[in-house]
Structure 1
Amino acid sequence: MRVGLLTEGGYPYATGDARVWCDRLVRGLAQHEFEVYALSRGPGQRAGDWGDLPRHVSRVRTAPLWGEPERRRGGRGGRRQRRRFAEHFGELAAAISVPYGSGAPHGSGVSHGSGASGRRTALADRFAHGLYGLAELAAEYGGLPAALRSEDAVRTLERACHTTGAPHGAHQARVADLLIVTEALERALRPLSLDWYGGSAGDPGLSGADLCHVATGGAAVLPGLLAKRRFGTPLLLTEYGVRLRERYLAGAADAAAGRPPSGPARTLLAAFHGRLAAEAYARADLITPGNTHARRWQERCGADRERLRTVYPGMDATRFAEVGEQGAAQAGGDDRALVWVGRIEPAKDVIALLHAFAEVRRWQPDARLRIIETRRGEGPEADGYPAHCRALADHLFPDEAADAHSAGDNPVSFERLGEPEVPTLADAYAAGGVVVLSSVVEGFPVGLVEAMLCARATVSTDVGAVCEVIGGTGLVVPPRNPRALADACLALLGDPERCARLGAAARARALELFTVEQNVAAFRGIYLELMSHCPVRRDEVGEGGGPLPFARPAEAHVPGRWTAGRDGGRLGHWRPGPAAPRPASEHTPASEHAPASEHAPASEHASALEHSPVWADPPPPEPLGVGPRPSEEGA
């Protein structure tokens, strides 16, 4: 099977969890041929090293979603091209001028069905009509970047925002906001203008793929949508972190920090990404969220429950095998220490953890807190937030900080992964008796699974997929509640036997659900299932592009019908279909077209059956009983 793997900012560029998961998937499915189509988010990604790709990755094609677009044929074009662009972009602009999740405003001219559901369907239809119209325009004229950045695009978007009945946020959009939006739309829609779709025998591109697997949402979905629309290629969408949710959170963070874009621009861009996500969920043959938390987001965005299947991300358990098999008692960690592992950033809420530890120290003075940083965050707050956490620790424990002559004397220690005390992740989790997760925002808690593989007892906040992952093998408290966090930590620090029991149960659960082997086995079955239900039909051609005779053997055709029984059984019960009627001619006697039971004895049918070919349909069975068969008129 030839699989087109579509990524954005992940494999083979990034070094984070997205790249690691894709690499494990590709290496685990070595029986298939992979072609990677990667979109990069920045110059740093494109300049990075791809590493050692497996042999069955036949090619990697890349395109940037940043910087100026490449100079290609096609521009604003003539009058006919500009008229078609205004029509299609006007449909898309009308759909995104209404905030995602709401129906069409009164007076907008949109009517489809009845009620809010009908209005949402009408907006989705307009968005799809505009999107695929722009794609056809790009295929015909060679690209859209110049048109999407033109004055015509700005004016079209302005008319959509100022339509009578449009929301107040869209009415407030100024020229600067419209320029920001059109530039962002040009970058997001660049996959429509790429030459990835092929069609020739020498470079088929995505037209030669048997399956398109999108490893993330966002702009990476566009090539898969076009391949499905043009070639009928099955589309599989995997989201371990819902891209629409990430964009909402990023927009909120930008607003809190006072950074552009402005409110109207954020509203329009959020509506665009919401419509794109809804279109992807509607067209995908199967959607595989990484957890129930992501699944709920997808359902709210319009994904059909029947096409949703949760597949947990696989993790390498061998790195933690030694520590996990030893258990909490033999790992050599300090039973009085709480361990926090991760990236120090506001979403992890280390501030609440420090306040909770101050309460723990009141009741257990010999307790310690080890904060182990895995890697530095990105953005302006990368240095500011860790410094604020250290200052708060000095403020909460002034006597200990003043008298400490080494890191070991301070009840709170800030350490870095890779230092002599914690050279590996397994050593970090084994450094204490209880592992703490204090986040206020979390998708799939990878660090929590790592602690479970190390057989550690855990205290976590109820965010994201934490409850689904922990499954009763640890303590869960509300987020932003230092007192509840402190009480849970004290309950485990004072009961080593309970910690050992919870750690053993956590490791057993992680090995059952969250390993690489489980993940690869799930996708191996999904690939085969999609190909069996949605086979790609192509005309076989030779080297010169001409038809290839005998490309399909005669054995590929099996007469009869394959149907399921009335009891809802699975496919596989073969029932012969009725024999095809022979056309009557002037040389064929009428008796040959009459029912066999009325014109010939059963022995003649048996003789005819003996001389009939093995692939022929058997004659209909004789009715039971004696006497002539009743006709329809007399029945």
Structure 2
Amino acid sequence: MRIGLLTEGGYPYASGETHAWCDRLVRGLTGHDFEVYELSGGSGAYAPGRDAARPRSGRRGARRGRAAVGRRERQRFAGHFADLAAAFCGPPGEAGHEADRFAAGLYGLADLARGTGALPELLRSETAVRVLEAACRAPGALPAARAAQVTDLLAVTEALDGALRPLSLDWYGDGAGGPYGDGRGALPGDAEGQGLGGVDLCHVTCGGPAALAGLLAKRFCGTPLLVTEYGVRLREHHLARATAALSSPVHALLAAFEGALATETYRTADLITPGNTRIRRWQERCGAPRDRLRTVYPGMDAGPFARVPDAAADDSKTLVWVGTVEPDKDLIGLLHAFAQVRAAEPDATLRIIGAPGAGPEAPAYLAHCRALAAQLFPDEAADAITVGENPVSFETIGDPGVARPTDAYEAGAVLVLSSVVGGFPRTLVEAMFCGRATVSTDVGAVCEVIGGTGLVVPPRNPRALADACTALLGDPERRARLGAAARARALELFTVEQNIAAFRGIYLELMSRAPVRHAERDVDGAPRPFARPAESRLPGSWAATGPSSAPKDRGHTPSWARPPAVPHDAGARVPAGAARTRGGDA
């Protein structure tokens, strides 16, 4: 099976969790041929260590040479863009009416882009600004949109130009010049140079512009679409703009557009796989049909953590906090809670293991936490708080005693999470792999992950956090039971193996529902599914591309039995299970 993996700058060029998950999927699902389509603002660079991948980047701008824009093209653009703009900033209508109008405008612009390379120019034209202004001034439009000035309209059209750039990429199987739009032709093995039209399934790893490419592949080529989200892309857009210097009309219009795009993505996808129930709720609010939602938890490598011995039912009184030190983790509340724990358990210690976050306020926050620890325990404070001398220690992975992440969990009797916001709690899962009892605040997917194998308290409640920690420190047998149950739950639900197995089944399920595609046809146009032998899809000297009968002379390999010649600059055929990448500017 050939999978088109659509990413948004996270793989294979950038590091991060999306990169790790995609890499595990590509390497774990052997037998499938992955083609990676990456959207970013730049061409990217080769990812070290990916010897199986052969990245190639698309050129900037439109999918073909820029064509002259005539009056008819401008009229078509104005009509389609008016439908798009009216759908996300106009008055509310009947149920589904806005979604239908948004889809009509979106796919109308895509059809225009297939016929001309001038769509980016049209999106930055005065026509686009005037059409958007008319939608904002229409009766019943969003209140913030009605206040939009010319500078706001220019900012919105510029943002829409970037968001709609996938409409102009040559990935959808109709154009001359190959999938790159630069005359280099198709990748070896592409079905007639069709790009996404030649794959069996499009798998989108996040919402936004990457999902837009999958929508067009389904619209133009009938390619089944699978959407996976391990973070709420719409929420990330909202949070990113919260700190940007944008006016209220720009905020409102961009939020409305992204919401409409998310709605169209969810209602068009054949299947949607959220990473947890919290993400699922966001998708349902955006119109995702419940019968097409299936939760697939992120896969984590359990090997190093599963080798940690179970926690002993002894008198250990060590609490461990592991993570990135930043204000959202509420270490201030944790320190106040630990002061109450010390009143009940004088031998208790707290190890805070983690480095400052990437935010500019993180180093100052860590310094404030150190000062608070010295203030709360004045009789034991020192300029440098170290293990064994004071009840609170501040450490990082690599320090003596915590050379590896597993050492942090092995050293503690109870893992504590004190966050006030969160998504999927990876630190909590690692502690569960290690068989450790946990106390966590109820944020993100904590309750869903922990099940009944740990204690969960409300966030920003030091008293509740202290009571839960004290209860576990005073009951070693309960700690041991919870830790064993936590390890069993984590190994069942959150391993790489279960994640890969889930997607293997989903791929087969979607393909079993899809109609026969890319089949040979007879003179009457009827499909001939078995006209092309399966061996022709395999690389190597046995891949016959001509007559199916074997040559009589075994000492000579005829021309039709040899692999097809590949130009030197076109790249070699990638084995099954490997990834090929194409890039484009979002």
In the superposition, the TM-score normalised over structure 1's length comes to 0.76
- State how far apart, in whole Å, the 1-side matches of 2:315 and 2:6 are: 45
Whether 2:321 is the aligned partner of 1:340: answer: yes
* Superposition deviation, residue 60 in structure 1: 3.9
Amino acid at match of 2:381: A
Of the three residues 173, 180, 202, the one matched with 1:198 is 173
Asked whether the equivalents of residues 282 and 304 of structure 1 are also in contact (C-alpha less than 8 Å), the reply is: yes
1:51 corresponds, among 48, 53, 71, to 48
- Structure 2: which 5+ residue stretches go unaligned? 179-190, 535-586
- Give the alignment of 1:275-424 within 5 angstroms: 275-323=260-308, 326-329=309-312, 335-373=316-354, 376-402=356-382, 406=386, 408-424=388-404
Q: Cα–Cα, structure 1 residues 533 and 404, in superposed 2: closer, same or farther, change >3 Å?
A: closer
Q: Is the 8 A contact 1:217 1:277 kept in 2?
A: yes
Please state if 1:208 is matched with 2:198.
yes
Shift of 1:511: 0.7
Q: Deviations over 1:74-124 (max 9, x none)?
A: 3782221111111111111112215xxxxx34xxxxx5xxxxxx2x41111
1:150-189 matches, within 5 Å, as: 150-189=125-164
Flag the 1:405–1:10 CA change in 2: closer, same or farther, 3 A.
closer
Match runs of 1:460-539 below 5 Å: 460-539=440-519
Partner of 1:441: 421
Instruction: Tell me, in whole angstroms, the C-alpha distance in 1 between the residues paired with 2:143 and 2:253.
Output: 12
Does structure 2 conserve the Cα–Cα contact (< 8 Å) formed by 1:210 and 1:536? no
Taking a change above 3 Å as real, the CA distance of residues 47 and 372 of structure 1, as seen in their structure-2 partners, is farther
2:530 aligned residue: 552
Tell which structure's C-alpha radius of gyration is larger: 1
Q: 1:160 to 1:449 in 2, by over 3 A?
A: same
Aligned partners of 1:393, 1:358: CA distance in 2, in Å?
A: 9
Alpha-carbon distance change, 173 to 410 in structure 1, aligned in 2, over 3 angstroms: farther
Q: What does 1:213-232 align with in structure 2 at a 5 Å threshold?
A: 213-232=203-222
Corresponding residue to 1:97 among 89, 95, 116: 89
Structure 1: gaps (5+ residues): 99-103, 106-110, 112-117, 557-635
Partner of 1:74: 66
What residue is the counterpart of 1:2 in the other structure?
A: 2
Residue 499 of structure 1 deviates from its aligned partner by 1.0
SS of 2:312's equivalent?
helix
SS in 2 for 1:335: coil
Deviation for aligned residue 1:62: 4.5
Does structure 1 conserve the Cα–Cα contact (< 8 Å) formed by 2:521 and 2:528? no
Instruction: Confirm whether residue 123 of structure 1 aligns to residue 123 of structure 2.
Output: no
CA distance in 2, matches of 1:76, 1:436: 63
2:114, 2:168 within 8 Å by CA — same for their partners in 1? Answer: yes
Higher relative contact order (CA 8 A, sep 6+): 2
Q: What percentage of aligned pairs have identical amino acids? A: 66
Deviation at 1:312, TM superposition (A): 1.2
Cα offset, 1:381, TM superposition: 2.9
Per-residue CA deviations over 1:151-177 (Å, capped at 9, x if unaligned) read 222222222112222222112222232
Change (3 A) 1:389 1:153: farther
Aligned to 1:605: none
The letter for the 2-side match of 1:266 is H
Q: Give 1:245 deviation, angstroms.
A: 2.3
Contact 1:352 1:480 (8 Å CA) reproduced: yes
Pair 1:247–1:541, CA change in 2 (3 A)? same
Query: 1:578 aligns to what?
Result: none
Shift of 1:415: 1.6
- Relative to structure 1, the CA distance from residue 382 to residue 49 in structure 2 (aligned partners, 3 Å threshold; closer, same or farther) is farther
CA separation of 1:169/1:13 partners in 2, compared to 1, >3 Å: closer, same or farther? same
Aligned with 1:134 (options 109, 123, 134): 109
Give how far 1:182 is off: 1.7
Between the aligned partners of 2:367 and 2:384, the Cα distance in structure 1 is 19
Query: Aligned pair in 2 of structure 1 residues 133, 507: CA closer, same or farther (>3 Å)?
Result: same
Structure 1 position 240, deviation (Å): 1.4
Structure 2 Cα separation of the partners of residues 479 and 16 of structure 1: 27
Work out the CA distance in 2 between the residues paired with 1:549 and 1:87. 38
Q: Given that residues 418 and 440 in structure 2 are in contact (C-alpha distance below 8 angstroms), is that contact kept between their aligned partners in structure 1?
A: yes
Contact 1:39–1:62 (CA under 8 A) maintained in structure 2: no
CA distance in 2 between partners of 1:136 and 1:97 (Å)? 23
Give the letter for the 2:48 counterpart: G
Q: Secondary structure at the match of 1:3?
A: strand
Question: Does the CA-based 8 Å contact 1:368-1:411 persist in structure 2?
Answer: yes
1:377–1:143: structure 2 CA closer, same or farther, 3 Å change rule?
farther
Q: Distance in 2 between matches of 1:196 and 1:418?
A: 46
Residue equivalent to 1:432: 412
Instruction: Output one character per residue of 1:532-553: Cα deviation in whole Å (capped at 9) or x when no partner.
Output: 10134224389xxxx9997635
What's the counterpart of residue 611 of structure 1?
none
CA RMSD of aligned residues (A): 2.8
Count residues in correspondence: 517
For residues 251-303 of structure 1, give each alpha carbon's deviation from its aligned partner in whole angstroms, at most 9, with x where no partner exists. 44x2xxxx412222111111111111110111100111111221121111111
Pair 1:132–1:404, CA change in 2 (3 A): closer
**Structure 1: how far apart are the matches of 2:260 and 2:401?**
49
* CA distance in 2 between partners of 1:394 and 1:149 (Å): 58
SS in 2 for 1:328: coil
Determine if the alignment matches structure 1 residue 83 to structure 2 residue 75. Answer: yes
Distance of 1:189 and 1:383 partners within structure 2 = 38
Paired with 2:336 and 2:198, the residues of 1 have a C-alpha distance of 58
Question: Following the alignment from structure 1 to structure 2, what is the Cα–Cα distance between the partners of residues 133 and 124?
Answer: 14
Structure 1 counterpart of 2:27: 27
CA-to-aligned-CA distance 1:182-222 (integer Å, 9 cap, x gap): 22211111111112223466532111100000111111101
Give the Cα–Cα distance (whole angstroms) in 2 for the partners of residues 278 and 143 of structure 1: 27
CA distance in 2, matches of 1:460, 1:406: 25
1:376 offset after TM fit, Å?
A: 4.7
> Which whole-Å CA distance do the structure 2 matches of 1:27 and 1:533 have between them?
25
Question: CA–CA distance in 2 between the matches of 1:527 and 1:195?
Answer: 25
- In structure 2, do the counterparts of structure 1 residues 80 and 477 end up closer, same or farther at CA, with 3 Å as the change threshold? same
* Residue 345 of structure 1, CA deviation: 2.2
Give the SS at the match of 2:96.
helix
- The structure-2 alpha-carbon separation of the partners of 1:390 and 1:154, relative to structure 1 and needing over 3 Å to count, comes to farther
In 1, Cα distance between equivalents of 2:234 and 2:419: 20
Q: Deviations over 1:330-377 (max 9, x none)?
A: 9xx99322111111223222222222222222222332221211x553
Q: Could you tell me how far apart the structure 2 residues matched to 1:381 and 1:158 are?
A: 40
Q: 1:351 to 1:172 in 2, by over 3 A?
A: farther
Normalised by the size of structure 2, how large is the TM-score? 0.82
The separation in 1 between residues aligned to 2:464 and 2:494, in whole angstroms, is 28
Higher mean displacement: 353-362 or 402-411: 402-411
2:223 to 199, 222, 233: 233
Distance in 2 between the 1:38 and 1:554 partners? 31
The one-letter code of the counterpart of 1:335 is S
Which SS does the other structure have where 1:371 is aligned?
Answer: strand
